[in-house]
Amino acid sequence: MSEHVKSDSETTPETVEMKVAVGEGERRLPVYLLLDTSGSMAGAPIQALRLGVEQFKKEVESDPFAKESVYMGIVTFGGEAEFVTKGLVPFEEFYGEFRTDSLAADGQTPLGQALWLLIESLDKDIRSSVKGGEKGDWKPLIFILTDGEPTDEWQEPRQVILNRTSKKVINMITVGCGPRINEQNLKDIAIGPTFKMDNDDASFKRFFQWVSQSVRVASKAVSQFGGGDKPTNLPPPPDGIQYIP
């Protein structure tokens, strides 16, 4: 047997920590919230929405794993669709800079526009793994909160989302809110499970608690069987959020 290479260092070898470089790439969990801020949300619903988003921020912030992985994208659609976070941003940035009082109810419900903004971001912002290159993102979690009465053309962008072959969308949850939920429309719009919630503050609160829990579960993603076409296992929705079969 040949000799081992000996350390030149005077430091006791037993105490020497290994110094090995690791990649700086991070695996992100993209979370999109598409929020209906149309005129029909004016009054108590928009106030409940603000409180809900605020609560979501606090709950994710309190989870050391989630806040390290989550990247947020907030799209509102009221009058005009707007990517208020200007793309996916680190949770810490969202936490520090996004002001929930900027959410205001006004105008019509351009869900189609919002879906196009989502598609642009999926194409532009979501990373796939490249060996020797970037670390790919977890599958995005997408929540759409709307009354189910879009006022623009939403069928085409929905179909574009359905037809994606790469960066596929498999975790999209649609939830009906507001005083006049159109359940049939909600079902038609949805890609994935559809729910409706009661029109009270407590339901908004529970909805955003559920979103936070889902984000926290997904950020602790565990290896799952198969090629990645199955939705992430999310916690069941709480009382006040009913599944629409």
Partner 1 sequence: MDGQVSFKIGDKIPHALEDKRQDNLGESAKAAPFFIVGASARGRLHYHNDAPRDDAFAARFNGTWLAVAVADGAGSKSLSRHGASFLTNRLCSRLLQATGLSNIPGHHTAFKIGNQQTNDVVHAYPSIDGKMTIQQLGELVVVDDEADVKGQNQLGSIMLKAFRQARIDLGRFAKRNTASLEDFHSTLLGLVLNTETMEMGIGQIGDGLMLGLDDKENAIILAEPPSSDDPAASYFVTQEDWEQYLYVKAMTGKEVNQFSTFYLMTDGVANDCQYGPPANILEIWARDMDREIRLVPSLEVTADRLKNYLASYKAKGSFDDRTLVVIYRNRGDKTT
Give the nearest distance from C-beta 135 to partner 1 in angstroms: 4
The vertex-207 CA angle with 86 and 97, nearest 5°, equals 30
Q: Count Cα neighbours of 50 within 13 Å in the Cβ-side half-sphere.
A: 14
CA separation for the pair 70, 5 (Å, rounded): 44
The alpha carbon of 7 is separated from its chain's Cα centroid by a whole number of angstroms, namely 49
Residue 234 vs 244, nearer CB to partner 1: 234
Q: Is the Cβ of residue 136 or residue 238 nearer to partner 1 in the bound state?
A: 136
**Residue number with CB closer to partner 1 (66 or 186):** 66
Nearer to partner 1 among residue 206 and residue 216 (C-beta): 216
Strand, coil or helix: what is 157?
helix
Min separation Cβ 231 and partner 1, Å: 10
Q: Which residues contact 235 (CB under 8 A, 6 or more apart)?
A: 210, 213, 214, 217
Strand partners, 144: 34, 174
Nearest approach, Cβ of 241 to partner 1 (angstroms)?
24
| Chain residues in the site for partner 1 (CB under 8 A) | 1-7, 13-14, 16-28, 64-65, 68-69, 128-139, 166, 220-230, 232-233
Q: How far is the CB of 141 from partner 1 (least distance, A)?
A: 12
